[in-house]
Amino acid sequence: MSFTEKILCSKSHEYLLDNGDNTYTIGLTDYAIEQLGDIVFLELPEVGQEFSKGDTFATIESVKAASEIYLPISGKIIEINEELTDAPEKLNEDCYEQGWLVKIEATGDESEQNDLMEYEDYKEELE
């Protein structure tokens, strides 16, 4: 199974990967990265911070502008991808395997995922 077959995507271009133990990996879709262009700055939250679904938990900046990144489900940050904050340009090469942003422990109900789409449907929605 390829990475994109395993993820759910939000309308605001975040993805959610179920790790199976009530933890999830969060990142931005390739479409989002493509739209942003050269990534030059990434600000991630601290481990232990808690957010509700839809909260801004990170900021990403391309050459042209700053954008907020929203958490697709409620959760507590358990790990951040520190390598990326040092070299955010790596997101332009890979936003999935190496380019995930944070890992969270879900704190909300599974119904929070109802508005998330499979990657194929997400892609279709964009067209």
Partner 1 sequence: MTKETYLHDKHIKLGAKMVDFAGWHMPVQYTSIIEEHKTVRENVGLFDVSHMGEVFVSGKDSLDYLNSIVPQDITKLNFGKAVYCQLTNKNGGLIDDLIIYKLGINDYLVICNASRIDEDLNWMVRNKRGFDVKIDNQSHNYSLLAVQGPKAELVLKDMGYDTNQESFSIKAGTVCEMKVLVSRTGYTGEDGFEILVENEHSEVLWDKILEYGKNYNIKPIGLGARDTLRLEAALHLYGNDLDENTTPVEAGLSWSIPKEKQADYNGKDVILNQIQNGVEKRLIGLKMLDKSIARHEYDVYFEGEKIGTVTSGGPSPILGYNIAMAYVKNIKNICIGSTVQVMIREKLHDAEVVKRPFVQKRNKIKM
**One-letter amino acid for residue 80 of the chain:** I
Out of 11, 19, 22, 38, which residue is the one contacting partner 1 (CB under 8 A)?
38
- Could you say which residues in the range 5-24 bind partner 1, by CB under 8 A? none
Out of 47, 63, 78, 126, which residue is the one contacting partner 1 (CB under 8 A)?
63
Binding of residue 94 to partner 1 (CB under 8 A): no
Binding of residue 109 to partner 1 (CB under 8 A): no
Out of 37, 108, 109, 124, which residue is the one contacting partner 1 (CB under 8 A)?
37
Tell me whether residue 22 or residue 35 sits nearer to partner 1 (CB atom). Answer: 35
- Which span (19-27, 44-52, 64-72, 118-126) binds partner 1, by CB under 8 A? 64-72
- Which span (1-9, 16-24, 33-41, 115-123) binds partner 1, by CB under 8 A? 33-41
Using an 8 Å Cβ cutoff, are 69 and 54 in contact? no
Strand ranges, E, within 63-121: 66-70, 75-80, 102-106, 117-118
Residue 83: φ, ψ to 5°: -60, -35
- In which element (H, E) is residue 35 found? helix 30-36
Q: Residue 17, SS3?
A: strand
Q: Which residues contact 36 (CB under 8 A, 6 or more apart)?
A: 60, 62, 67
Q: Which residues bind partner 1 (CB under 8 A)?
A: 37-38, 40-41, 43, 59, 61-66, 92
